[in-house]
Structure formats: C-alpha cells, structure tokens
Structure 1
Amino acid sequence: MTVRLSHRFAVLALAALIATTTPGLATAAPPVPDPAQLPAGATPAPPEATEMRVLCAELPDAPDGPQIPRAQRILDFASVWPITRGAGQVVAVIDTGVHPHPRLPAPRPGGDYVSTGDGTEDCDAHGTLVAGLIAARPTPGSGFAGGAPDVGIIAIRQSSGHFSDRSRSDDDAARNASGYGDVRTLAAAVRQAVDLGATVVNISEVACRTVAEGLVDGPLGAAVQYATDVHDAVVVAAAGNTDTCREGNPRSADPADPGADPWDSVVTLASPAWYDEYVLTVGAVEDDGTPAGYSLPGPWVDVAAPGSGLVSLNPGTDGLADLIPGPQGGRPVSGTSFAAPLVAATVALVRSRYPQLSAREVMTRIESTAHSPAEGWNPQVGHGVVDPLAAVTAPLPAGRAEPMPAVAVAEPTPPPVPDHRPRTIALISAAAVIAAAALVLVLTAPARRLARSRT
C-alpha cells in the first residue's frame, strides 16, 4: 500500500519506510510530534540514487490580458498592496522545484531531494505554478499577479513525477509510476526551509492513508513542530484531494450528535495536514464560495481559498499557464495544492504588516478574519474563506497592538533675554534730570536768599 501525494499524479514512494499497518485501529487522534525524530540538518540530496524516467513537461501559454483571474478577484489582494506587499518575508516553496521566471523574484536555491540540482529546476510545472500564485509581480497590461509580490522565494525540490529510484525495475515503474519523493524527504525539506530563514513554508503535498492502515510520519511531525516552535515559521499545507486521497471523512457534523468529537469519525488521514497545532491546513472552494467536491475534509482543516480554474506562471516560457500536466494530458490548474499558496501569500502579508506577531498568532488571525460558515467551523472549509484585507487591517488583540512610533519633540525654546536698555536709559535720563534740577536749586539758592533779604 502506498502513501499518496495530493497533487496531480504524484504518489509517495517507498511506502514501507513511511507507513505501517496498525491492526485494530478504529479511531484517529491528533498526532503528537516527537522532537527526537527531527531529521538531522544535512545537505539536501535524495536518499537513493535517482534517474529521470519521463521528459520534462511543456505547457501551452494561457491567454494574458488586463482581466483579473477569478481567484485574485475573489480575494482582492490588490486592496492590500497599498498597506503591504509582503516585503521582508521569505516563503519556502517545498514542491517540484521553482523555475526562474521574468515575473517572479529570483528564487533562492534551497536544495534538491530528487536529483542533483539546487531546487530551481521544475520538470513538473507544479512548483512554479504554486510560486507564481504567491509571488508573481504585477506587469502592465496583465491582470495576473501573485498575492504577495514583494516576498522572497526559497525553491526546494522534494518530489517529481519524472524521476524515480534508480534501483527500481521498469516493471516496478510501470506498476507504480509514482515518481520520487516521500515523507522522509518532505521532513528534511521542512527543516532545510526554516534553517535557511523561511518565515512562511508552503507545502502543496499531502501523504494519505486510511485510519485502519495507519500513518507513520514521525520525522515530518517533528519537522513542522521545529518550524513553528523553534523558528517561529508559519507552515501552510494543502488539505488533500479526494482523487488521490481516499474519501470517507464526514463533510459536516453529525446532526444527531453535533457535539461529537470530529476525530472519532475520521476515515482518511492526511499529513502534514493533521498536525493541526503546527500547520495551517487549507481546503478549497469554488468561485461561489461553496466547498469544492474534490477537497478532502477533516478535523484539521483550518481555512479555505479558491482552488478551481486558476492561472499562474508557465515554467517553460515567459507567459502564463492555466493547465498542469497529467497522465491524460493537460488539465485545469485546480486542487487544494493551489488553494494553499493563496493562503501562504495572505500569511506573508500579515507577517510583513505585523512582524511582532508570533507564528501561532498569525495563524489565529487568519482563521478569525476568514468568512466563517454559518455553523462557525466545518471540516470542509474550516473557519471559512480567507480574507486578506481583513487579516491585514483587523484590530490587533489586546496587548499586541503595534507600538505607536515615537514622535520627536523639539526642546523648549529658551525665553529671550529681556532687553533692559530702554529702562536703563530712561532711569539714567531721569536721574540726570533730577540731578541737574537739584544742582540748579543748589546753585541758585544764595541768589534767592539775597533777593528775599532785599525786599
């Protein structure tokens, strides 16, 4: 039994190393990470020798013009840009690699767990599409742009449908054309991302197994805990798609028992999504806000974003793409894989505007400002569809308000030294007059006496 990635075709290989059967397991419970299982920091490389089995994908350019794509219109990122465009934030895209593109900030090489590259090669197009939804720059004449166009991007290739373990035979590849990448490489990639300074980590991949089969992913749990608690990074993860993850999880609360623990009714587990305390898990909605039928529900779903019919960057040209390669040719860019980067962009905007908030405070803010369902939370969309403008502008919680900037106050101007010269001159003049008058009186006194004596 394999553990499958949620995007397009990719299935996690080497299942024996990452999952075991757990007989008699009837109910799920929130997983508790074990820090002792954290992968060691090491130079990125595939654990086994790999080789390319399928040529890199090529996609046709999508029409480009002034019309804003639906997802960007719904979330209205442009309304936030006068306040913040994500400057100062670094988003790690852990995916199939990120190919450089004229409309994308030069991706910083983060490493390659698939082959011998540095993370800036993308044979599958998936990672470049994800990165474009986060960070594509606006261009005159084009309505498309990523949600946070001023962020930096770290590119890490940790999976690909075009590579496989070299030791596998062609027959094995035919039976399980799953590509390469598993939760071991995903755990190592998460640690690598935050060690390189990522403030936001986007994971558009999900490993799925049923509760009865069990899911052993201790290193990945330790890695997301390390990202959140040690590096204060926000980890955003896709909830998973029902075309590659087995269905069965309830899509709403049991009306007969609305207070029941939703974990008791879980059928399909999804990782790293189910590490709910350490991961912001994203479901998908249609354009009208209704839950997408392909979005895997679960008690770990936190928020949702548009996930159908998206447009992003074409890794093979300077243009855009609205298709992604698949076994039967190109298909529309849809899935929780592409809802997640829209939330990662929102997280980057919030972190840029409020750098004093911790990772968990940012996650809570994203949840509390989302457009909540009538019941307040449900396993399909969590707390609701994200609202970038509300997330950036809503009042901060008490005690976390941004300190007012200090205003320089000029020193008081000392009072002018009083000018006593006029008074002094007046007094001197008066004294001189009085003295002169007295002198006149003294000098004329004998004459006055003589005159009086003669009369």
Structure 2
Amino acid sequence: MRESFRPGGTAVTGPARHPSRTVLSGVVAALLATLVVPPAPARAEPKCPAPAGGAAPTETPWALRRLDPASAWRITRGERVTVAVVDSGVSPTHPLLKGQVGEGRDFNGLAQMQGRCDHAGHGTIVAGIIAGRDDTGAPYSGVAPGARILPVRVLPDTQRTNDPGLPVQIAAAIRWAADRDVEVINLSLVTIDHPQLKDAVQYALDKGVVVVAAAGNRAQDQRDLPAYPAAYPGVIAVAGVDREGGHVGSSVSGNYVDIAAPGLDIVGPAPGGQGYLAEPEGGTSFAAAYVSGAAALLRSARPDLTPQQVAYRLTRTADNPPDGHNPQLGYGVVNPYRALTSLLGTRTDPPAGAMPPPASNEDPLGRQWTVALWAAGVATVLAAGLLIARPVVALGRRRGWRPGRRTEPADA
C-alpha cells in the first residue's frame, strides 16, 4: 500500500499505482482545471418604465354607478372566464390586478415580458375596467372581478399611426389569443381594413370567442369613417356616452355601432405603482372595456351561448334610445344586470321604434263588442221574463195560490 494525495492535500491510503500513471493523472487534472468556465453573471431583469399615476379615487366613479355591475354579482362575478386584452400591455403589479393577469405575449419587441409591460398605461386601465379586484379598499372595481386577463401587447404607445404592418400584427395577436381558449377578446384599438385582420376576426368568432372592439375616436373636424376591426361583421362595436347618457362628441358614429358604454371622465389603475390614472377625455377604448366586462359575466353564467347570442342579448337588454337604434349609440347603453337576468321578449318598456306591427287588421275591440252583445241579449230575456211573470204572480195571489177550474155558463 502507498500513500497518495487527492486535490486539496488530504492523504488517503490505497493500492500502489504506477508512477507514470500518477504523473499522467496529474497532467490531465491540471488541463481540466484550466477549462473550467466561470459562472455567468446573473442577467438583469428587463425594466418596464411606466406612469405611476396619482391618488386612488375617494368615491365610486360615475361609470360604475351608472352600470352597477355589482347587482349582477349575485349570479356571477365572471369566474372561469379569460379576457384577452390586445393593447399596449397590462401591468400585473397594481393591487387592483394582482393575481388577475396571466402570462401572455408581446408582438412589439419585448418578448421576454410576455405582454406584462405597459409603457403607455392604456392597456392596464382597460384591464382594470374589465376585471379589477373589488377587495383593495378603494371604491373601484372591474365589471367582472372574477375574470382573468390574458395580456397581448401590440401597441408601443397610444399615438395614431399609419403603419401598414399594424393590422397584420393585430391579426396575428387575435389568432394567438383565440388559440389560448379565451372567452372574450377586447380590442380597444383602431386600424385600417386588411384581409388578414378580417380573417383573424372571423377565425376567433368561429372558435366561439366573443370579439368586442372600440367604435373609434375622431379628431376635431374629422369625418366619421368606419373603424376596424369594429366595423367587421360579428364584432360588437362600442360607442361612448357621457354622464347624462348622451353621445360623446369624439365617438365615431356609424350603422355598424352596436352598443354604448361610459366613454368620458374615465379613471383606472396605473401600471407603474399603486396609483390611478385619469382620462378626462375618455374614448371608445374604455367604453369597449365596460362591454367586455359585461360579456365576461354573460360567458361565465351562460358558457353555452355563441358569440352571436351574446351580442344579441347585450344589445337587446341595453337601455335603449327612444328610436330603438341609432348610429350614435347603437341599441343603447349596456346593462349588465339586464343582460344576465332578462327573459328576452317579455320586456315591459320596449322603445317606440321597436314596437312590432299589429298581427292583423281585426278590430282591436271586437271581443269587447261580442261580450257586450251577449250581455244585452241576456238582459232582454230576463226583462221579458219579468214582464210575463208579473200578471201571473198577481193572479196567483188573488186566488191564494189555489188551483181551480174555469166555470162554464149554465146554457152552455
């Protein structure tokens, strides 16, 4: 037996080794030591600078008071429903959205952030309107606080752009979201018409996904032009209303508008902290978010409904304008509680323009006339009976009600 040394200088006892083999082993060990790669420095997490916002609201925003989604929460809060927000990204750090935002995808250069970075703040406000929690202590919540958000980032900011690649990018985002088994896709954005975008919207509808989009905002002195994807068939196009329920002047009007929701003096969660951002000018982007929240409630309570049935129920239970439908408000302001609880066809307050025509040309008082004639006939019979009975009764009283025979003359 011979003593040998392991690296580190610890003496061990083992079988005798050949001197040449020992030298060779030492050389190999030295070479391996020179090949050891030093550990790579930890990669810094990507930063996401975003606006921090201001103080939380001290009272419930007017939009929540107007729609009163909490009245529908006895039925559902939007559980088991995921809403894809195709926008500027959604921050998951705000208390209103903690635990509500899943891992999505970024189509605009920040792939490692999975759609959870929002430089502009737009997508985070939209997500808060749809699915913000109601247990943060602030007088604010989303329409469907039980729903979850799938963030899909396609917009770097909220500036208007004529980038011809944007509709193709949005189309890819819609298809990607539709393949993730979402129930609703919210599109609070506007772009130009494009075949790929139209096909992507139809792809989502065919997969049973409800598609909600902003009807569009027009600048001053700008004409009302169709906005896409809102103007595509099957998409629920949403216009904006103010506190009094009137049409917001900047909201695009058109026959493709289906429904309306609050779109002025909006407030929502900021992506850069625990504050809130105010959007006094609002926009149809936020109006679309309120309708997406109502659609999430419907899909949670009635998962069997098709996108067409969801759209029909939302529009037919809205707080209708006097004429039933117009290019400014569509069928009226969304009403989450009615959408969940109404038995369609039994409303007692249909708008004048929605009243059905008479079923036939029959006299509407025909039945009353028939009843009146029968009553007159019965009254006549009773009167005749009384007239006949009067002399009979008088004669019977004179005779003491005794039966008798007629007396014949003697010479008869």
Q: Which TM-score bucket, shorter chain as reference?
A: 0.5 to 0.7
1:327-385 CA-to-partner distances (Å, cap 9, x unmatched) read xxxxx361001100000000010111111211110110000000111111111110100
Greater gyration radius: 2
Deviation at 1:290, TM superposition (A): 0.4
Instruction: Render the CA deviation track for 1:12-35: whole Å, top value 9, x for unaligned.
Output: xxxxxxxxxxxxxxxxxxxxxxxx
Matched with 1:243 is: 219
**2:82 matches 1:125:** no
Quick one: which amino acid aligns to residue 116 of structure 1?
L
| Matches for 1:396-415 after TM superposition, within 5 Å | none
**1:284 touches 1:305 (CA, 8 Å); kept in 2?**
yes
- Alpha-carbon distance, 1:123 to partner: 0.6
Find the aligned partners of 1:124 and 1:140 in 2 and give their Cα distance.
23
For residues 15-94 of structure 1, what are the structure 2 equivalents within 5 Å? Answer: 56-65=49-58, 67-94=59-86
Structure-2 change in CA distance of 1:114 and 1:190 (3 Å):
same
Kept in 2: contact 1:56–1:162 (CA 8 A): no
Q: How does 1:402-441 map to 2 (within 5 A)?
A: none
* Contact 1:90–1:199 (Cα < 8 Å) also in 2: yes
Q: Which of structures 1 and 2 has the larger relative contact order (alpha carbons within 8 angstroms, sep 6+)?
A: 1
Find the aligned partners of 1:377 and 1:186 in 2 and give their Cα distance: 30
**In 2, are the aligned partners of 1:199 and 1:234 still within 8 Å (CA)?**
yes
Question: Which SS does the other structure have where 1:269 is aligned?
Answer: coil
Report the alpha carbon displacement of residue 292 of structure 1 after superposing the two structures with TM.
0.3
Q: Pick from 149, 157, 160: which aligns with 1:161?
A: 157
8 Å contact from structure 2 (residues 50, 271) kept in 1: no
Report the alpha carbon displacement of residue 162 of structure 1 after superposing the two structures with TM.
8.6
Distance 2:235 2:335 in 1: 18
Q: Which residue of 2 aligns with 1:195?
A: 179
1:223 corresponds in structure 2 to 200
Give % identity.
41
User: 2:90 matched to 1:113?
Assistant: no
Change (3 A) 1:388 1:177: closer
- Deviation track 1:236-288 (CA, whole Å, cap 9, x = no partner) reads 000000128x7334xxxxxxxxxxxxxxxxxx22111110x220000000010
- 8 A contact 1:94–1:202 mirrored in 2: yes
Which residue in the other structure is 1:367 paired with?
A: 315
In 2, are the aligned partners of 1:311 and 1:333 still within 8 Å (CA)? no
Is structure 2 residue 361 aligned with structure 1 residue 379? no
SS of residue paired to 1:271:
coil
Alignment gaps of 5+ in structure 1: 1-54, 164-175, 209-214, 250-267, 324-331, 399-455
Local SS of the residue matching 2:213? strand
Question: How many Å separate the matches in 2 of 1:109 and 1:391?
Answer: 30
Aligned residue for 2:103, secondary structure, equals strand
Structure 2 spans left out of the alignment, 5+ residues: 1-47, 347-412
Of residues 153-162 and 180-189 in structure 1, the stretch that sits farther from structure 2 once superposed is 180-189
**Pairing 1:154-303 to 2, within 5 Å after superposition:** 154-161=150-157, 182-208=166-192, 215=193, 217-229=194-206, 231-243=207-219, 247-249=222-224, 268-275=225-232, 277-303=233-259
- Rounded Cα–Cα distance in structure 1 between residues aligned with 2:239 and 2:161: 27
Q: After superposition, what is the alpha-carbon deviation per residue over 1:401-434, rounded to whole angstroms, capped at 9, x for unaligned?
A: xxxxxxxxxxxxxxxxxxxxxxxxxxxxxxxxxx
Q: Say if 2:144 is the partner of 1:148.
A: yes
